[in-house]
Amino acid sequence: MIYLDDVDKTILNTIQYDFPLDSRPYKKLGERLGISEDEVIRRLGRLHDEGAVRKIGPVINRNSIGGTSTLVAVNVPDERIDEVASYINEYTEVSHNYLRPDRYNIWFTLSASEKGRIYEILDELKAKTGLEFINLPTKRLFKIGVRFNIR
Partner 1 sequence: MDETEEKIIKLTQNGIPLTPSPFRDIASSLGLTEEDVVTRIEAMQDKGIIRRFGASIGHRDIGIIANAMCIWNVPDGQVEDVGSTMASFEEVTHCYERPRCPGWEYNLFTMVHSYTREDCEEVAARISQATGIMDYRLLFSEREFKKTGIRL
Which of 5, 6, 36, 53 binds partner 1 (CB under 8 A)? It is: 53
Q: Does 59 bind partner 1 (CB under 8 A)?
A: yes
Q: Does 133 bind partner 1 (CB under 8 A)?
A: no
| CB count in 10 Å sphere of residue 73 | 18
Q: Does 107 bind partner 1 (CB under 8 A)?
A: yes
Q: Does 29 bind partner 1 (CB under 8 A)?
A: no
Instruction: Compare residues 123 and 138 and give the one whose CB is closer to partner 1.
Output: 138
DSSP code at position 104:
S
How many residues sit close enough to partner 1 to count as binding (CB under 8 A)? 73
Q: Does 112 bind partner 1 (CB under 8 A)?
A: no
Q: Site map for partner 1, 1-20, x if CB under 8 A?
A: xx-x-------x--xxxxx-
Q: Does 62 bind partner 1 (CB under 8 A)?
A: yes
| CB count in 10 Å sphere of residue 44 | 19
CB 99 within 8 A of CB 106: yes
Cα gap 137→85, rounded to integer Å: 20
Angle formed at CA 19 by CA 16 and CA 23, multiple of 5 degrees = 160
